[in-house]
């Protein structure tokens, strides 16, 4: 099972249990990746997990946007 990657402009699939596709996940700051995994492993809807995920998505969207507008 998979779902669409939530990053703007990304048409790849994210695997079930993953927030986003591997290419986009690689753009998430390491500290935030660790936080999301830790909260995920705690199971159920862990406190703060949704916020951490939304934070990660926002950061990757911002990085992708700035990369697109930068000269090649």
User: Using CB under 5 A, which of 3, 4, 8, 12 touches Zn ion?
Assistant: 12
Alpha helices for 1-72 (secondary structure H): 22-25, 30-41, 49-69
CA-wise closest residue to 39 among 30, 28, 31, 47: 47
User: Using CB under 5 A, which of 24, 36, 52, 56 touches Zn ion?
Assistant: 24
53 forms part of the interface with Zn ion (CB under 5 A): no
The DSSP H or E segment spanning 4 is: strand 2-4
21 forms part of the interface with Zn ion (CB under 5 A): yes
Report phi then psi at 4, rounded to 5: -65, 140
Query: Which CB sits closer to Zn ion, 42 or 58?
Result: 58
56 forms part of the interface with Zn ion (CB under 5 A): no
7 forms part of the interface with Zn ion (CB under 5 A): yes
Least distance from Zn ion to the Cβ atom of residue 36, Å: 15
């Amino acid at each position: 099972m998979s779902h669409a990657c939530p990053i703007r402009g990304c048409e790849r699939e994210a695997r079930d249990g993953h927030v986003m596709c591997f290419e986009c996940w690689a753009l998430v700051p390491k500290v935030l990746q660790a936080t999301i995994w830790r909260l995920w492993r705690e199971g159920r809807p862990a406190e703060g997990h949704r916020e951490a995920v939304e934070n990660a998505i926002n950061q990757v969207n911002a990085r992708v946007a700035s990369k697109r507008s930068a000269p090649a």
